[in-house]
Structure 1
Amino acid sequence: MTSPSLPAALRAALDAKLEGLSRQDAAGRAALISKTYRDGGSSIAIKSEIDALAYALVRMPATYAAIAACLNALVEERPDFAPKTLLDVGAGPGTASWAAAEAFASLENFMLLDINPALQKLALELGRDHPRLGAMTCRRDPDALDDVDAADLVIASYLIGEVSDAERSGLAERLWTKTREVLLVVEPGTPAGYERIIALRRDLIARGAHVAVPCPHDLPCPLQPPDWCHFAQRLPRLRAHIQLKGAELPFEDEKFSYVVLMREAPAKRAARVLAPPDVGKVEVAAKLCTAGGVAIAKIARRDKAAYATARRWRWGDAVAEWI
C-alpha cells in the first residue's frame, strides 16, 4: 500500500527548493493563497515561483495523502490494474503524478496538464531527478486536454471545483473521453465537494462508466442530506509544513470525496465503511454502503472471529458484507 507520507525523494526536492527562502515570506504567501481558495478562488492566485512553492509546502502533503488513499482503494479492488500511461489533469505541482508513480511501478509515461506556469515549472523541477517522473511532459495551453492522447489512468484531483457549474458536465465528458481504463476524480470532503463528485458520477455512468470504488454499485447514491459521502486520511506534518501553517499538532486529517470509474464493470465490489465504527464490548456497529444501500452492520462479540475482524475496520475500508 502507498504510504500517505510524501516520498523521500519529493521531500528532498522540496527541502532543496527551500534553501535560502524566507520562511516568513513563504508563510505570508501561503496564508494569502489559502484564503483565496477558501473564498472560492483558484490557482490564478499563484503567480510566482515563491507562491508555487508556498502552495506546494502547505497543500502538497494533504493532497498527496488523499490521492494515495484513493489509489490504495483502487489497487485493493483491482490488483491486476497495471497502467503504463498517466494523464494528470489540473496537475499543479505534480502531486497526483507522484502518488501514481508510487502506486504503480508499471507507469512509464506521465502527461501533466495545468494552465498555471509557476506550478508547471515547479512540477518539472521537483520531478527532475526521479527515474520515471524526470521524463514527464507538461502542457498548459487551454486546448491541451482535447489534443493529448488518451491514457490508461486519468486523474483530476481538486480540479472540478475550480470550474463553473456550466462547465463541469462538459469537463467530465472530456475527462472520460481521454480515459482508456480508469478515471480518478478527487474533491474536498465537504458537502459541496461531494455534490460535485456525485454529479460527475451520475453523468459518466449515463455514458457507460462503472464505479470501481468507493461505491459497491452503479446505482444512485443512497445517502440523504445532511449526510454526505467522504473519507479522511491522517498524515504527518513536515517541519516546514508546521512552520508555514503555524500549526501545533504534528499531524492533520485530510477529508476528501472521490470516485474511481472504469470502462469495464467489476466482477464484484465490496461494501464500504462510511464512518468511524463504534467499537463496544458487546458488539461492533459500522455504517456500511452495500450493494443494497446503506445499512448498519452489527457484529456481536460472541462471534469471536468476525468480531476480531470488525474491530480492525477503519473509516473508508472495503469489507465483506456481514448483513
Structure 2
Amino acid sequence: MTSPDVPAYLTATLAARLQGVSRADAAQRSDTISKTYRAGGGSATIRNESDALAYALARMPATYAAVIASLNALQWIRPDFAPTSLLDCGAGPGTATWACAEAFESLASFVLLDANPALRALAMELARENDRSIDYTLGDATVKIAEALPADLVIASYVINELTDAARERLVKAMWAKANDTLLIVEPGTPSGYQRVLEARVQLIRAGAHVIAPCPHDEPCPLVKPDWCHFSQRLQRSRVHKQLKSAELPYEDEKFIYLAVSRAPVTLRPSRVLAQPVTTKIAITAKLCTESGVIAAVAPKRDKPLYGKFRKLDWGDAVFEQPLSE
C-alpha cells in the first residue's frame, strides 16, 4: 500500500519555496484560507503565489493522505487496476494528481482542471521542478470538463463541497461520462460531506455505476441519522506543517469520506469497518457495514484465531470473511 505521507520530493520543493518567506505571514494566510473553507467558501480567497504556497503547505498533507487512503482501498479490491490516464477535476495545486502518480506507476497522461490561477501556477511549478509532465487547463471544471478527453481514472478531491446542488449534479454526471473505467470522489468526513457523497452515490448507481469502495453493495446506505459514514487517516506533521497550523502534536488525523465506482461489476464485496474497533477484557467488537446491513461483529477472546484477526482490524479496513454479529 502507498504511504499516506507526501513524497519527499514534493515536501522539499515546497520547503524550498518557503525560503525567505515570513513563517508568521504564511501561518496567517493559511489560517484565513482554512477558516474560509470551513465556512463553506471556495478557493477564491487564494489570490496569489503566497496564498497558494501557504495553502499547499497547510492543506496538501491531509488532502494527500485522504486521497491515498481512498486509492489504497480501491487497489485492495482491484489490485489489477492499472490506469494509464488521469483526469483531475478541481485539481488545485495537484494534490490528488501527485497521489495518483504515486499509487499507479502505470499512469502516463495527467489532465488537471481548476479555475484558480495561483493554484495552477504552483502545480505547474511543482510538476516542472520534479520532471512531471501535466496538462493543466485553467477554468471552471464544471465547464472545462466538456473539452477533456475521457480517462481511465477520474478524480474529484475536496471539490464538490464548493458547488451548488445543481452544479454538483452536473459535474458528477460529466465526470462519470468521462470515466473509461473508474471514478473516485473524496470529501471531508463531516455529516455534510457524507451527505454530498451519498447523493452522488445514488446518482451514479442510477447511471449504471458499480460501487467498488467503501460500500460492500449497491443498495441504499443502511446508516441512520445522526450516524454517518466517514474514515480517518493519520499522517505525520513536518516541522513547517506544525508551525503553520500552530500545532504541538507530531501527527494529524484527517477525517474523510470517499466513493469509488466503476463501469464493470465488482465481484469482491468485502465488509467495511465503520469505526475503530472496541476492545474489552472479553472480546473485540467491530462495527461493520456488510452486504446485508450494519452489524456489530464480535470476536470473543476465547476464540483465539478470530480474536487475533480482529486485533489487526483498523477503522476503514475491508473484512473478507463473513463476520459473526452480536
Alignment of 1:171-320 (within 5 A): 171-320=171-320
C-alpha distance in 2 between matches for 1:322 and 1:19:
53
Tell me the distance in 2 between the aligned counterparts of 1:152 and 1:319.
27
Letter matched to residue 217 of structure 1: H
Could you tell me which residue of structure 2 aligns to residue 91 of structure 1? Answer: 91
Per-residue displacement from partner, 1:171-208 (whole Å, max 9, x unpaired)? 11011011010111011000000000000000010000
Instruction: Indicate whether 1:140 and 2:138 are aligned.
Output: yes
Distance in 2, Cα, partners of 1:130 & 1:280 = 49
Q: Distance in 2 between matches of 1:210 and 1:245?
A: 39
Taking the aligned partners of 2:121 and 2:112, their CA distance within structure 1 comes to 11
* SS of corresponding position for 1:127: helix
Alpha-carbon distance in structure 1 between the residues aligned to 2:208 and 2:302? 44
Shift of 1:282: 1.5
1: CA distance, partners of 2:206 / 2:308: 40
For residue 105 of structure 1, what is the aligned residue in structure 2?
Answer: 105
Name the TM-score, length of structure 2 as normaliser. Answer: 0.97
CA deviation profile, 1:18-56 (whole Å, cap 9, x unmatched):
111111111111111111111111001100000000000
Aligned-CA RMSD value: 0.9
User: Unpaired segments of 5 or more residues in structure 2?
Assistant: none
Looking at structure 1, the residues matched to 129 and 117 of structure 2 have their Cα atoms a distance apart, in angstroms, of: 20
> What is the rounded CA distance, in whole Å, between the counterparts of 1:251 and 1:314 in structure 2?
17
- Show structure 1 runs of 5+ residues with no match: none
Give me the whole-angstrom Cα distance separating, in 1, the residues matched to 2:128 and 2:304.
52
- Measured after TM superposition, the shift of residue 166 of structure 1 is 2.0
- 1:82 aligned residue: 82
Q: Check if 1:119 corresponds to 2:119.
A: yes
2:319 is matched by which residue type in structure 1?
V
Separation in 1, partners of 2:277, 2:59 = 28
How far apart in 1 are the matches of 2:85 and 2:164? Answer: 29
Code of the residue aligned with 2:105 in structure 1: it is A
**CA displacement at 1:78 relative to structure 2:** 0.2
Q: Which amino acid aligns with 2:66?
A: A
% same residue: 56
AA aligned opposite 1:280: T
Task: Give the Å deviation of 1:304.
Answer: 1.1
**Which residue in the other structure is 1:130 paired with?**
130
Q: Secondary structure at the match of 2:128?
A: coil
What is the identity, as a one-letter code, of the residue corresponding to 1:199? Answer: E
Tell me how far 1:97 sits from its aligned partner: 0.6
Q: Could you tell me which residue of structure 2 aligns to residue 322 of structure 1? A: 323
Q: Is the 8 A contact 2:116 2:139 kept in 1?
A: no
Structure 1 residue runs of 4 or more that deviate by more than 4 Å after TM superposition: none
Q: Which whole-Å CA distance do the structure 2 matches of 1:287 and 1:308 have between them?
A: 17
Q: Secondary structure in 1 aligned to 2:166? A: helix
Give the whole-Å Cα distance in 1 for the aligned partners of 2:105 and 2:38: 35
State the 1:248 CA deviation: 1.1
Matched letter for residue 44 of structure 2: I
Name the amino acid aligned to 1:194.
Answer: Y
* 1:280 to partner: Cα distance: 2.2
Query: What letter is aligned with 1:322?
Result: P
Deviation of 1:305 (Å): 1.1
What amino acid is the match of 1:193?
G
TM superposition shift of 1:257 = 0.8
Residue 138 of structure 1 aligns to which amino acid in structure 2? Y
Deviation at 1:281, TM superposition (A): 2.6
Q: How many residues align?
A: 321
Name the SS of the counterpart of 1:139 in structure 2: strand
Paired AA for residue 121 in structure 1: A
Deviations 1:69-88 (A, max 9, x none): 00000010000000000001
